[in-house]
Amino acid sequence: MKDIIVLGIESSCDETSVAVVKNGREVLSNVIDSQIKIHEQFGGVVPEIASRNHIEAISRVAQKALEEAGVDFEDIDVIAPTYGPGLVGALLVGVSYARGLAFALNKPLVGVNHLEGHIAANYITHQDLQPPFLCMLTSGGNTQIVYVKDYCDMEVLGKTRDDAIGEAFDKVARVIGLGYPGGPKVDKLAQEGKPTIDFPKTHFENLDFSFSGIKTAVINLHNKNPEINKADLCMSFEKAVTEVLVENIEEAVKQTGINKVVLAGGVSANTHIRSEFEKLEQKGIKIYKPDLKLCGDNAAMIGAAGYYRFLNGDLSENTLNAVPNLKIGE
C-alpha cells in the first residue's frame, strides 16, 4: 500500500504544534511551540492571548515541521487539524489554517477530536498496540474511561462529574503556591513527600469520577494549616486521586473483560500514576503508557488519529468549524 503522509495540526490550548506523520505510526517531525512562559505570569491560560500567539506561530511552526521531516507541502496526503474540544479562538486558528492549506493544495481535510489524539499517542509509542483496549484518559479538561473498540469506534464508560483531574492538580498547585502549570510541580514535590494524610474519596455505583471533594479537602487543610509539609500534602493528594483512577479501571476491566489498559493525556505523565498503574500488571492487566514527550498536547498524536480517521473515510467539508465541547463518539 502507498505510504500516507499526514500533516497534523494542534492549537486547542496553549501549544501550537505541527507534525508530519507517516502511516499513523512513524513521526517524521513534531514541532511544538509552547506558550507556557507567556501564560505563566497570569497563573493560567488566557484564551485571547493564546489565539493571538497561535496566529503568530502557526506558519512558522508548519514550515519547520516540513523542513525537519524533509518534505514539501506537495508530499502531504492529508491535512488533519484538531477541531475540538478546546478554546474556541485557539482551535479556530488551526482549523482555518488547515482549511486554507487543504483548499490551496487540493488535499483531503480530516478534522480530529483532540481526545482521540491523546489516545493515538500510544500508537506511536507502542507499534504493536491495536484496539480493542480500555483507555484511562486524564488531561486538563477531561477524565474518562474510554472503551476503544476499534480505531474509530469508542464509547465513554465513565467520566468526571465535576473537575477534570488536571484541573484539580493545577488548582492545588496554585493554592499551595507552586504556580502554573501545576501538575508537573505537584509531581516533583510529591516525590520528596510521604502519603501521611487520608483524603476522602467519592465513589459512584457506575464508573464515574469526582475530584472536587479531594481537591477542596487539600485546599481547606492547607488554608487551616499553612505550615503543613507541602511535599506530604502533594503525595497524599496524588495517592488519593490515583486510588480513584485505579479502582475504577479495575472495575472497568471486570465489567468488559478487556485486560489491556492504555494511559493517555497530560496527567498520564505523572510519576505516581504511572507507577501505580504498572503494578496492575501483577494482576494480569497489560498496561501501555505514552512516551513522556507525547503525553502533553502535540500534533504527532493528532496526525496519528487523523490517519485512522482518513482510512475510515471520515473526510471533513472545507466548512469545518471548531467545536469547543466536542465529545468522544461525536
Q: Phi and psi at residue 78, in whole multiples of 5°?
A: -140, 140
Write down the least CB distance from residue 257 to ligand KG4, Å: 28
8 binds ligand KG4 (CB under 6 A): no
- Nearer to ligand KG4 among residue 189 and residue 253 (C-beta): 189
Binding mask 136-155 for ligand KG4 (x = CB under 6 A): ---xxx--------------
| CA distances for 257 relative to 149, 155, 205, 299, 322, angstroms | 12, 15, 18, 32, 36
Nearest approach in angstroms of CB 265 to ligand KG4 is 4
Q: How far apart are CA 304 and CA 110, in angstroms?
A: 12
CA distance 325 to 330: 10
Smallest distance from ligand KG4 to CB 12, Å: 7
Does position 169 bind ligand KG4 by CB under 6 A? yes
How many chain residues are in contact with ligand KG4, going by CB under 6 A?
A: 19
Question: Between 76 and 90, whose beta carbon lies closer to ligand KG4?
Answer: 90
Q: Say how far residue 44 (Cα) sits from the centre of its chain.
A: 17
Choose between 89 and 182: whose C-beta lies nearer to ligand KG4: 182
Q: In the bound complex, what is the minimum distance in angstroms from residue 262's beta carbon to ligand KG4?
A: 14
Long-range CB contacts for residues 33-40, cutoff 8 Å, separation at least 24: 33/57, 33/60, 33/61, 36/180, 36/181, 38/14, 39/14, 39/180, 40/179, 40/180
Among 91, 267, 299, 301, binds ligand KG4 (CB under 6 A): 267
| Cell numbers that stand for 155 in this block | 464509547
Work out how close the CB of 149 gets to ligand KG4 at its nearest, in angstroms, rounded to a whole number. 23
Q: Give 267 or 304: the residue with its C-beta nearer to ligand KG4.
A: 267
What are the cell numbers at 241?
Answer: 486521586
Check binding of 84 to ligand KG4 (CB under 6 A).
no
Q: Is residue 166 at the binding interface for ligand KG4, with CB under 6 A as the rule? A: yes
- Choice between 154 and 267, CB closer to ligand KG4: 267
Strands, sheet with 78-84, edge to edge from the N-terminal-most edge strand:
26-34, 15-22, 5-10, 78-84, 112-113
Query: Of 166 and 195, which has the nearer Cβ to ligand KG4?
Result: 166
Number of Cα atoms under 13 Å in the Cβ half of residue 182: 24
- Does 290 engage in binding with ligand KG4 (CB under 6 A)? no
Quick note: the x/- pattern for ligand KG4 over 171-210, rule CB under 6 A, is: ----------xxxx--x-----------------------
Separation CA 126–CA 240 (nearest Å): 29
DSSP-derived pairing of the beta strands 286-288 and 260-264: parallel
How near is the Cβ of 297 to ligand KG4 at its closest, in Å? 4
Tell me which residues touch ligand KG4 (CB under 6 A): 13, 139-141, 166, 169-170, 181-184, 187, 265-267, 269-270, 296-297
